[in-house]
Chains A and B, each alone.
Chain A
Amino acid sequence: MSSVHLNNIVKRFGAVTAVQKTSLEIQEGAFVTLLGPSGCGKTTNLRMIAGLLDPTEGEILIDGKRVNDVPIHKRNLGLVFQNYALFPHKTVAENVAFGLKYRDVPSSDISRRVTEALELVQLPDVGERYPKELSGGQQQRIALARAIVIEPDVLLLDEPLSALDANLREDMRVELKRIQERIGVTTVFVTHDQSEALAMSDQIVVMSAGRVEQVGAPEEVYNTPASEFVANFLGASNILAAECKSRSAEGVELETPIFGKLVVPAEKAPNLGGAGPAKLVIRAEKLLVAAKDAAAPDGVISVPATIEAVDYQGQAVRYFVRAGEAQLQAINMIDQRPFAAGDEVNLRLRPIDCAALPDQ
């Protein structure tokens, strides 16, 4: 178990800057996810920690020791790839034992540790088989067993679930988290899938265009996005232009054309200084579509709107709603039956569910 430190890391490929001045602290034993769209630099960061790429500038510290010049085979890291990367010409047991051969482990211990690792990933009986005889999910478990059997200081996971079917992916997510908690290894997980990131992480590092947009616990990143990018990337959000009137202890007073004046809690607008242009962020699932004639409870803003389109999703429904000039999205659980396109409705909003950003 070890901490990982990125210190002003820059990575350039020729004229392209893949990672710009990134600093990051990963605590011992933490499960940290690098989340972002493709090309945001998350995999580049992971590969630099692994030693597969050298940073152009900056330092990487593992357990406080600079590892920039330590070659990959001496870093003692567990690496799991999206495409499993099992050795096709070796049996499962040989795959798992591979790293132990380079670690002066006595041969009697090798077979015991291989067995333990296979038990940990719940595939105790496949040691004699070849990788291609296993399903994708099983292969990824073997890849995980191969990475953790060496007792790595840090476990690095590069989109390990992306190649799996949707159902399997959710099972593996739980499984992966269980194993990580059991062995307590510091883990860096790279994904573009926000639900994976939210479900598994202690901390999420949201990245875009080579820089870190926000670092925080899943709830924090989800409920209090630090930028428009984060608000849009995690879940569906409505982002409205607003005017910040004032900031006080109880909150930030904003005015928008649609919802009028409302007070957003101060902790939901950490980056908004004082009066001036701002952005109001409303999560799609916090915007409630209600019948036109129903009365709104106290403390809830209610404005008239028209439903333009309905996207039925089974247990939930996504409405595209027009209110004044703006088209908004609302994702609601279905109560009895959803509204239809063309219905006149009321949009309800609690100001405490909103967040506010400075206008960039």
Chain B
Amino acid sequence: MSVEAREARQPWILLSPALTAVFLLLFVPLLFIVVYSFWLRTATGADQVGFFLDNWREALSDAFYRDILLFTLKIATITTLVCALMGYPAAYVIARSKGNKALLLLLLMLPFWISYIIRTMSWINILGVSGALNTALLYVGVIDEPIQMLYNQTTVILGLVHFLLPFMILNVFVSLEGIDTNLEDAANSLGATRWQAFLQVTLPLSLPGLAAGGLLCFVLGAGTYITPLVLGGPSDAMFANLVFEAIITQLNWPLGSALSLMLLAVLGALVMVYNRYLGMAQLMKGLG
């Protein structure tokens, strides 16, 4: 074999374990889902094999699914905005800190050591009827009986922000780290105040990181079912809860498959728009 041919083969040899795993564990199951979505669940509870468009017709025409999809996108949008507003200043502080940057980054990673589900459930101990906040308010005497603070849209967003904020901070931090601090000094020396220098120089240069963090928060937020399940009320179901409901509770795999593909298509389109205008490289930088 020629040297060129050997060198051309080498990356594929190194990639093959990962590619095999992705193919068998992601691509093949996804194909099954696609196939399932055209089957039909009969009244007896058995799946009828064939090519039926009934699931798709239901998923695409029923206003119930459309409204929940819109609600899901709304929750994800609010969560992303809150994460951006809270995360940017934090990322800025970490990126500009001198001595304790490593410690601050460690603190940022710390929540990942605890399961996301446990972190979500922890809010029940804080905001629940017999949780820390109610107990404290009762003790101080501000309220006479516990307030129901949980199981509404706000607590769903709260839980999602809690879950997603580190992703936003990390992405913005990485892009801020890549900006030469001399640029702000140069802007200051030319007559810009610190705030003007930030708006003119630092903020525009960090937008790719903000966009990457935003995309991650949005996609992860829109795809979650744990947070609304644990912290939401009956009317706070998000789209992934419908999939969960269809597949786990009703055992209607064909409909669940069609619904999950629908969500995948919407979020996939968003990623493609992002990729078209900003490129995946920035996202990779933020994740790595």
Contacts and interface: CB of A to CB of B under 8 A. Distances in A.
Contact of A99 (B180, B183, B191, B194): B191
B100 interface: no
B252 to A, nearest CB: 51
A103 interface: yes
A48 to B, nearest CB: 13
- Size category of the B interface is 10 to 19
Interface string A68-104: 0001111111110101011111000000001101110
A79 B189 contact: yes
Nearest to A149: B190
Contact of A146 (B182, B190, B192, B193): B190
Contacts of B185: 50, 52, 72, 79, 81, 85
A74 B194 CA distance: 12
Contacts, number: 66
A101 B93 CA distance: 28
B182 A81 contact: yes
A102 B190 contact: yes
Contacts of A85: 180, 182-183, 185-186
A150 interface: yes
Interface-centre pick from B185, B188, B190, B204 (highest chain A CB count, 10 A): B190
A102 B192 contact: yes
Contacts of A150: 190-191
Given A87-B201, A89-B204, A72 B183 contact: no
Given A73-B188, A79-B185, A89 B205 contact: yes
Contact of B182 (A51, A74, A76, A83): A83
Contact of A72 (B188, B196, B200): B188
Contact of A73 (B182, B191, B204): B191
Interface-centre pick from A77, A86, A87, A88 (highest chain B CB count, 10 A): A87
Contacts of B191: 73-74, 76, 99, 101-103, 150
Interface string A297-328: 00000000000000000000000000000000
B81 interface: no
- Size category of the A interface is 20 to 34
B104 to A, nearest CB: 20
B226 to A, nearest CB: 39
A18 to B, nearest CB: 15
A94 B134 CA distance: 56
A109 to B, nearest CB: 15
Given A88-B205, A89-B204, A77 B189 contact: yes
Contacts of B183: 85, 87
Contact of A98 (B180, B187, B193): B187
Contacts of B189: 50-52, 72-73, 75, 77-79, 147, 156
A79 B204 contact: no
Interface-centre pick from B185, B186, B192 (highest chain A CB count, 10 A): B186
B197 to A, nearest CB: 8
Nearest to B185: A52
Given A88-B205, A89-B204, A89-B205, A79 B193 contact: no
A332 to B, nearest CB: 43
Nearest to A99: B190
B205 A73 contact: no
A159 to B, nearest CB: 12
Contacts of A83: 180, 182
A159 B182 CA distance: 13
Contacts of A87: 183, 186-187, 200-201
Contacts of B190: 73, 98-99, 102, 146-147, 150
22 contacts: A50-B185, A50-B189, A52-B185, A52-B188, A52-B189, A72-B188, A72-B189, A73-B190, A73-B191, A73-B193, A79-B185, A81-B182, A81-B185, A85-B186, A87-B183, A98-B190, A98-B192, A99-B190, A102-B190, A146-B186, A146-B190, A150-B190
Given A98-B187, A150-B191, 16 more contacts: A72-B185, A72-B188, A73-B188, A73-B192, A78-B189, A79-B186, A81-B186, A83-B182, A85-B180, A85-B183, A87-B200, A87-B201, A88-B205, A102-B196, A146-B186, A147-B189
Interface of A: 50-52, 71-79, 81, 83, 85-89, 98-99, 101-103, 143, 146-147, 150, 156
Interface of B: 180, 182-183, 185-194, 196, 200-201, 204-205
